[in-house]
Structure 1
Amino acid sequence: MLRVAIGKIALLCDEAPRLLQQQAAEGVRRASWLAGRELLRRAMGVTALPDMVTGSNGKPHFSDASPLCFNISHSGGDVAVLLGDDGEVGCDIERVRPRKNWPLLAGAAFSESERQTIAALAPADRLEMFWQIWTRKEAIVKQAAGSVWQMDTAASAGLFVSQYRIADTLLLALCTPRPHRLERDDFQLWGYETPVSIERLEQKTGAGDKGKTYR
């Protein structure tokens, strides 16, 4: 089983049950933490989340013998959850947006072939390719419970990475230990105007499929 949930942080915070609201600490990360937990609860279809613990690597997981693994990612006002029962998973969601220092980040974190992939594109297309590569690499790092500072060494050997464009401006990358093939029913969306397009992207580096769009 592999399931993806994507939602708007503001909506999920407002509709989260009182118990979850009480567990969310105050501070700048309260909204994203609360929305991520509420989205995970909805993806699991439970009234309350099982107890969680944080491993030595900082990645949270369920404290019981549940086979379920999950990963949460935030970007701006959006949050994504990847839930699976076949080993550790990683996901990253990013809204395609301007970033002045993206060439410097690519120079520090991307491989030579990845930088060449960007350079071969028309200037107007390079920013989105930067974000495509970034999300794939971060999903790989998060699958192994690493940090963004390890992105320059991220390797997908033995892993399966897929990528999607959601509602035209969101990029979502998923990393699992085994191949997966997701259909429209595997995605749950909360707070978006319908219909929402979900396009599976061709992978310039790594495995993937090209061009299928769901609405």
Structure 2
Amino acid sequence: MKTIYRGIIGLSVGEIHLWLADDRLDLVTAAASRSFLAPDEKQHELRFHFERDRDRYLATRALVRRVLSRYQPLHPADWVFSQNAYGRPEIDAMRTGIRDLFFNVSHTTGLIVLAVATGRAVGVDVENTQRDKDLLDVTKQVLSPEELQDLVKVPGELKVERFLQYWTLKEAYIKARGKGVSIPLEKLGFRFDQSGTIDLEIAPELADAPCRWQCWQFRPEDGYLIALCAERIEHIPTGIVARRMTSSGVDEIIPVQVDRVSA
């Protein structure tokens, strides 16, 4: 067992922690971070054709390992991961002895976001809002009938923005549930009201209850949209704490101003 990487951060069942980081490391930090990776992760990094994709993969895997070591006395190199039946990465409880720590990670051009929770499943999605309008070509495969009706009413210059609001919430939900793309996105829908409330609707065939989940949506920085979804814990309100981490591992708490949240 190697030495503990950094001091331990407390995480209560009533909190979800979000970690934000750039998707590219400087050369010195990249070399150090690569030493954390398991052999299969190092092999995976080499499979990317473009350097930009290799950089993002390394930064993402390093962030996961470094951050998890802020919650448990385990060196970043000692974390072991497995996948569930649908391919979602999880902490290998059998090999680490850690059973109640859950995480989910997402990245887009320029930003990585990692969500960490204890005692409950969590899913996160981040998107760069400066996306191409070609996104709208997939609306019929992604949006529910009610969402499609709403999108028609949105002015043309705002359609991509509204689509991404729906898309990020759907991605966060399917990641939290742990079934990924096996869940047809058009079978679940979100409704927004003027007060900023999010209502989740799930088709009966998906065998899930909307009241089981709570969702949030906010903009951590200009040009980015984040959606977060987590299991509710009865009688315990959830607080979100966000931190921005530099490539050197220094972090600071940043404010979170939620745009929308489930009732």
TM-score, structure 1 length as denominator?
0.80
Please say if 1:84 is aligned against 2:114. Answer: no
User: Structure 1 residues 53 and 22, CA, compared in 2 at 3 Å: closer, same or farther?
Assistant: closer
CA distance, structure 1, for counterparts of residue 26 and residue 66 of structure 2: 10
For residue 202 of structure 1, what is the aligned residue in structure 2? 260
Q: 1:19 aligns with which of 35, 51, 74?
A: 35
CA displacement at 1:17 relative to structure 2: 2.9
CA distance, structure 2, for counterparts of residue 27 and residue 128 of structure 1: 33
- Secondary structure, in 3 states, of the residue corresponding to 2:239? coil
Question: How many residue pairs were aligned?
Answer: 202
For residue 55 of structure 2, what is the aligned residue in structure 1? 31
User: Structure 1 residues 195 and 141, CA, compared in 2 at 3 Å: closer, same or farther?
Assistant: closer
Alignment of 1:68-107 (within 5 A): 68-107=101-140
- Which residue identity lines up with residue 19 of structure 2 in the other structure? A
Larger radius of gyration between Structure 1 and Structure 2: 2
- Residue identity over aligned pairs, in percent, reads 22
User: Greater shift after overlay, 61-70 or 29-38?
Assistant: 29-38
Q: Deviations over 1:148-174 (max 9, x none)?
A: 463223437121111111212111111
CA displacement at 1:189 relative to structure 2: 1.0
- Secondary structure, in 3 states, of the residue corresponding to 1:201? strand
CA distance, structure 2, for counterparts of residue 5 and residue 33 of structure 1: 16
CA distance, structure 2, for counterparts of residue 59 and residue 124 of structure 1: 35
Q: 1:5 aligns with which of 4, 7, 19?
A: 19
Please say if 1:182 is aligned against 2:210. Answer: no
Please say if 1:159 is aligned against 2:193. Answer: no
Gaps of 5+ in 2: 1-11, 189-201, 203-208
CA distance, structure 2, for counterparts of residue 22 and residue 61 of structure 1: 15
User: Structure 1 residues 63 and 197, CA, compared in 2 at 3 Å: closer, same or farther?
Assistant: closer
CA distance, structure 2, for counterparts of residue 54 and residue 106 of structure 1: 29
Q: 2:65 aligns with which of 12, 16, 41?
A: 41
Q: Deviations over 1:42-80 (max 9, x none)?
A: 333153152111222111111124210111111123211
For residue 212 of structure 1, what is the aligned residue in structure 2? none
Gaps of 5+ in 1: 209-215
User: Structure 1 residues 17 and 104, CA, compared in 2 at 3 Å: closer, same or farther?
Assistant: closer
CA distance, structure 2, for counterparts of residue 93 and residue 40 of structure 1: 16
CA displacement at 1:126 relative to structure 2: 1.7
User: Structure 1 residues 104 and 14, CA, compared in 2 at 3 Å: closer, same or farther?
Assistant: farther
CA distance, structure 1, for counterparts of residue 116 and residue 134 of structure 2: 32
For residue 143 of structure 2, what is the aligned residue in structure 1? 110
CA displacement at 1:195 relative to structure 2: 10
Q: Deviations over 1:74-127 (max 9, x none)?
A: 112321111111222111110002323333312221012212222222222221
CA distance, structure 2, for counterparts of residue 130 and residue 12 of structure 1: 34
Root-mean-square deviation (CA, aligned residues, Å) is 2.7
Q: Deviations over 1:135-157 (max 9, x none)?
A: 00011111122334632234371
Preserved contact between residue 86 and residue 177 of structure 1 (Cα < 8 Å) = no
User: Structure 1 residues 87 and 196, CA, compared in 2 at 3 Å: closer, same or farther?
Assistant: closer
TM-score, structure 2 length as denominator?
0.67
CA distance, structure 2, for counterparts of residue 88 and residue 98 of structure 1: 29
CA distance, structure 1, for counterparts of residue 47 and residue 176 of structure 2: 27
- Which residue identity lines up with residue 117 of structure 1 in the other structure? D
- Which residue identity lines up with residue 131 of structure 2 in the other structure? P
